[in-house]
Structure 1
Amino acid sequence: MAEIKTILFATDFSEGSVRACDLARTLTALAGARLHVLHIITELVDKQRRRLPVDVVDTLVREVERHAVEDMHRFCDANFTGLQTTTDIVIGVAHEEVINQARKVNADLIIMGTHGRTGLEKMLVGSTAEKVVRSSPIPVLTVRE
């Protein structure tokens, strides 16, 4: 069995990610691994760039990033005290950034929650977790909310 040295945990800080967070914490502790916590600011900001003046978008981006940093600190303090943890906040397409960051930190495992969408909603929106599972070169553990 392959040794797990680094786990990438992708989160949106939602209540739905709590179960995945619990599992990430447990597996990190059991494996004695390093945990890399990732939050992605989605492409919504990029879409706004086309509609709003540059200075307004820049202000919006800074505000979103500031809130994301605050959320990351609170989330990690509440959930990962005592674990060897690093963090990253990136802007981009969620499933692409999960894969990019997994490569960047040389992760052995990706853990992420899934919203459990079904039917028409899944067909229209798609699933970030599903896209990660399909394109990841490393194992992905998804946890349904």
Structure 2
Amino acid sequence: MVNVTKILYPTDFSDPSACALLYAAEMAKKFNAELIMLHVLLDESQMVSFYLPQLTVKNLSKDMEDGAKAKMEEFIEETNALEGIEYSTAMVKGIADDEIIKFANEKNVDMIVLGTHGRTGLEHVIFGSTAEKVVRSASCPVLTVHCPNSD
């Protein structure tokens, strides 16, 4: 029997991500698993710091972190999906797919559930897909959720 005790749900607070939360929550209920909600922030090295004084970039980073914390709280409040589920939240800085994989490994999660954005054409060729990169690199099963209205 498959033993799932920890599920990682990375979110960027988008509509596809909100749709994936329904699946992550349902999986957590079915397996009586802990759900870890993760948001990855850009770190200072990914910001265009050579155009801005360092102090401004630091303030921007702090503002982004505060905004993400508020958005996470709002995101949780807007859903009834988490009722009766043991969950926690976390934020890290870095490149989304790298940080998701790293976090999953460090926390020994049994499954990752994340939304897709359905990038197509040139955007997909240039940027790829966070979900695709996570699927290719994760050491645990990954459920990707594509919501019909997310294109």
Q: Same fold (TM over 0.5)?
A: yes
| Number of equivalences | 145
Aligned to 1:123: 125
**Superposed structure 1 runs of 4+ greater than 6 Å apart:** none
**Which of 89, 92, 106 is 1:90 aligned to?**
92
Pair 2,74 (structure 1): closer, same or farther in 2 beyond 3 Å: same
Q: 1:10 to 1:28 in 2, by over 3 A?
A: same
Q: How far did residue 45 of structure 1 move?
A: 6.2
C-alpha distance in 1, partners of 2:6/2:137?
19
Show the 5 A alignment for 1:102-141: 102-141=104-143
CA drift of 1:125 comes to 1.8
Q: Return the offset for 1:91.
A: 1.1
Q: Which residue of 1 aligns with 2:70?
A: 70
TM-score, normalised with respect to structure 2: 0.89
CA distance in 1 between partners of 2:141 and 2:28 (Å):
15
**Secondary structure of the structure 1 residue equivalent to 2:51:** coil
User: How far, CA to CA, are the matches of 1:53 and 1:70 in structure 2?
Assistant: 26
Distance 1:36 1:18, change over 3 A: same
Identity %: 39
RMSD of aligned C-alpha atoms?
1.5
Contact map agreement 1:41 1:89 (CA 8 A) in 2: yes
TM-score normalized with structure 1 length: 0.93
- Call closer, same or farther: CA 1:73–1:81 in 2, change over 3 Å: farther
Query: Where in structure 1 are there 5+ consecutive unaligned residues?
Result: none
